[in-house]
């Protein structure tokens, strides 16, 4: 069975947590596409060469969840050559046998426009900044993280190539007032319905 779940949204909206839970629940493979860009950004040097030579070891390196890695990812993700180098890998993963969940910023719009389920997970900038600040556990103020979240949103939404936006047929999931469990249950309900329809 080939069944693709595309989960998009801005930083710290909860899409990674939801994606991992969905993959476990339904036995799908999971790819956090943001890790690809974080790994490219953290490799340093020419980002296009880094993208073309990305290996599984690069995705396992320490520090890919740090604020610095997130900033590096956002800077290299605006480069069309980097995005092109990573598209084929993501599309192959998405159509693997047994189902797949991919989370990122352009999965439903660019990478997998034919996905059986598209979710756009979002939350207020303030909520996302608070989550990221607590998750990172790094020095720095909440105000600094909020400024970084807003700047990243502007970069991600304003880039010419594959900007962050919801696919026209995506289901919006606003997690601002949701607990983690509520958000996961809402996503699971959507996917279970689609699986039943496709059975």
Instruction: Give the model confidence (pLDDT) of 63-80 as tens digits.
Output: 998 888 988 998 898 899
Does 127 carry a binding-site annotation?
A: no
With a cut of 90, say whether residue 92 has pLDDT above it: no
* 198 in Cβ contact with 116 (< 8 Å): yes
Does 13 carry a binding-site annotation?
A: yes
% of the chain residues with pLDDT over 90: 67
Q: What is the mean pLDDT of the chain?
A: 92
For 75, the domain range is 4-191
Q: List CB contacts of 199: < 8 A, sequence separation 6 or more.
A: none
Domain count within the chain:
1
Max distance between CA atoms of the chain, in angstroms, equals: 50
With a cut of 70, say whether residue 139 has pLDDT above it: no
18-22, 91-95, 148-152, range with greatest mean pLDDT:
18-22
**Average pLDDT estimate for 151-170:** 89
**Average pLDDT estimate for 33-41:** 92
* 167 in Cβ contact with 6 (< 8 Å): yes
CATH code where residue 96 lies: 3.40.50.300
Does 27 carry a binding-site annotation?
A: no
Does 137 carry a binding-site annotation?
A: no
**Average pLDDT estimate for 109-120:** 96
Q: Is residue 78 part of a domain?
A: yes
* DSSP states of 66-118: SHHHHHHHHHHTT-HHHHHHHHHHHHHHHT-TT-EEEEESSIIIII-TT-SEE
Q: Is residue 198 part of a domain?
A: no
Does 108 carry a binding-site annotation?
A: no
What pLDDT sits at residue 25?
Answer: 97
What pLDDT sits at residue 159?
Answer: 84
Does 160 carry a binding-site annotation?
A: no
Q: Is residue 199 part of a domain?
A: no
198 — pLDDT class (breaks 50, 70, 90): confident
pLDDT in tens, 44-60: 899 999 999 988 788 88
What pLDDT sits at residue 138?
Answer: 61
Does 10 carry a binding-site annotation?
A: yes
* 43 in Cβ contact with 149 (< 8 Å): no
């Amino acid at each position: 069975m080939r069944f693709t779940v595309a989960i998009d949204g801005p930083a710290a909206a909860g899409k990674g947590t939801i994606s991992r839970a969905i993959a476990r629940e339904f036995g799908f493979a999971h790819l956090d596409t943001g890790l690809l860009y974080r790994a490219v950004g953290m490799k340093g040097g020419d980002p296009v060469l880094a993208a073309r030579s990305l290996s599984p070891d690069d995705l396992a390196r320490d520090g890919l969840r740090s604020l610095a890695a997130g900033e590096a990812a956002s800077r290299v993700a605006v480069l069309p050559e980097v995005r092109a180098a990573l598209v084929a890998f993501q599309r192959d993963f998405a159509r693997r046998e047994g189902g797949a969940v991919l989370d990122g910023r352009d999965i439903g719009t660019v990478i997998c426009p034919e996905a059986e389920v598209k979710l756009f997970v979002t939350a207020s900038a303030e909520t996302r900044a608070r989550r990221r600040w607590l998750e990172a556990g790094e020095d720095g103020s909440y105000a600094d993280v909020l400024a970084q979240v807003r700047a990243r949103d502007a970069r991600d939404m304003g880039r010419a190539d594959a900007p962050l936006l919801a696919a026209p047929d995506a289901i919006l999931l606003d997690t601002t007032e949701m607990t983690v469990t509520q958000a996961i249950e809402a996503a699971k309900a959507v996917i279970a319905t689609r699986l039943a329809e496709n059975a």
